[in-house]
Amino acid sequence: DQQVKQNSPSLSVQEGRISILNCDYTNSMFDYFLWYKKYPAEGPTFLISISSIKDKNEDGRFTVFLNKSAKHLSLHIVPSQPGDSAVYFCAASSLNTGNQFYFGTGTSLTVIP
């Protein structure tokens, strides 16, 4: 059973607009969340993370929001650029039990120039 779910397999956004990628999780023990970005024929690369003690973390054009009560997190990209076109994976972890990550199935983002 998937403990981390990304229900949108794909998303298309116009260049310059906001991209919002969503992720839901089921395990209330998760306390650390990450987003990874993956280009074709490459491995996933770390993008941004957030601890459960926060509800927002920002890094340049990327912001991750965490809603613990809803077990939901989202990644906002503003403004979106064509180079952001990639597959984005959400991951969750319970740091008390080690470094094991649970990944979602990914959302393919296409930014249209």
Q: Which residues are at the interface with other proteins (CB under 8 A)?
A: 2, 6, 32, 34, 36, 41-46, 49, 89, 91, 93, 95, 98-106
| Cβ 82 vs Cβ 109: under 8 Å | no
Q: Least distance from C-beta 110 to other proteins, angstroms?
A: 17
Classify residue 48 as exposed, middle or buried by CB count within 10 Å of its CB (0-12, 13-18, 19+).
Answer: middle
**What gap in Å lies between CA 74 and CA 64, rounded to an integer?**
6
Q: Least distance from C-beta 31 to other proteins, angstroms?
A: 11
If the CB atoms of residues 11 and 79 are measured against other proteins, the closer one turns out to be 11
Q: Least distance from C-beta 107 to other proteins, angstroms?
A: 10
Q: Is 49 helix (H, G, I), strand (E, B) or coil?
A: strand
If the CB atoms of residues 15 and 32 are measured against other proteins, the closer one turns out to be 32
If the CB atoms of residues 15 and 71 are measured against other proteins, the closer one turns out to be 71
**What gap in Å lies between CA 110 and CA 113, rounded to an integer?**
9
